[in-house]
Amino acid sequence: MQTITILEWLIGGGAFALTGGALLFAFWFGGRRERWDAAARDTTDIKSDVTDIKRDTAEKWTAANKEITEVKNDITDIRSDITEMKKEISVINEFIRLIRPHVLSMIDIEGRSPLRLSEHGQETARKIRAHDLARKYVGKVKIAPDFNAYEIQETCLAFCREKLLQSLTRDEKDELQNAAYENGADLNHYLRIISLVMRDIILTKKGMAPGKADAHHSEEPAEEPAGASSGAS
């Protein structure tokens, strides 16, 4: 039996140690490799999920932008429609402003011959104190002795339209103009109502009253103020 030298023993032991270390390293590395592979697979899955999320987000963002654009377009259309409606409303308001005096005239004054106040016109006359003003200022109307009923009517209308406002006191003028302002009426419409009351005062004095059909609109006595006979005779 050969004697094993120390050197051989050391060499054999080192080889055994190296082999064992290699086996341990291989075992350790194999475990780590599995973990690394698993981590790599997880990373790949995460990247895939992130890609899917990005794609879904992009699609939803694109859809949202499309909807926002459509809403903006709708708002633009609505604004355009509102602008057109404002123009149409402005035209309608102007039309109403222009026809309002004529409508009020149709409501307050009956168009049949002779012209006379309607029931609504009588109420308007009371509100503006047309009878009081007519009786007070009828004496300023210059009526020729040979005037017929139509000429008397037109003369009263011309006086009220051209001269009555100048004859009124400050308070009377303010009251009449305020009534026109508050009711959105044309002042000339109120002056026309007063002129018809004046006409009936003069026609009654001359025995030329319009007749029974017209007698209803002068509910107050058609009396002339003192000194009025010279102008209305």
Contacts of 205 (CB under 8 A, 6+ apart): 222, 224, 229, 232, 233
Query: How does pLDDT run across 152-162, given as a tens digit for each residue?
Result: 999 999 999 99
On the question of pLDDT at 36 being above 60, the answer is: yes
| Coil, helix or strand at residue 121 | helix
- Per-residue confidence at 40, pLDDT binned at 50, 70, 90? confident
User: How far apart (Å, rounded) are the C-alpha atoms in residues 120 and 157?
Assistant: 20
On the question of pLDDT at 19 being above 60, the answer is: yes
Average pLDDT estimate for 176-191: 93
**How confident is the model at residue 28, as a pLDDT?**
77
Greater confidence (96 vs 133) lies with 133
User: How far apart (Å, rounded) are the C-alpha atoms in residues 222 and 197?
Assistant: 8
Query: Domain residues of the chain, as ranges?
Result: 61-233
Residue of 221, 218, 186, 224 lying closest to 117 (CA atoms): 218
Average pLDDT estimate for 216-231: 43
User: How far apart (Å, rounded) are the C-alpha atoms in residues 158 and 198?
Assistant: 11
CB 99: neighbour CB atoms within 10 A? 11
Helices 119-127, 130-137: crossing angle, 10 deg rounding: 70
On the question of pLDDT at 211 being above 60, the answer is: no
Torsions phi, psi for 100 (to 5 deg): -55, -50
Residue of 137, 195, 186 lying closest to 161 (CA atoms): 195
Percent of the chain residues topping a pLDDT of 90: 43
- Per-residue confidence at 227, pLDDT binned at 50, 70, 90? very low
Residue 176 buriedness (CB in 10 A; 0-12 / 13-18 / 19+):
buried
**How confident is the model at residue 39, as a pLDDT?**
85
**How confident is the model at residue 164, as a pLDDT?**
96
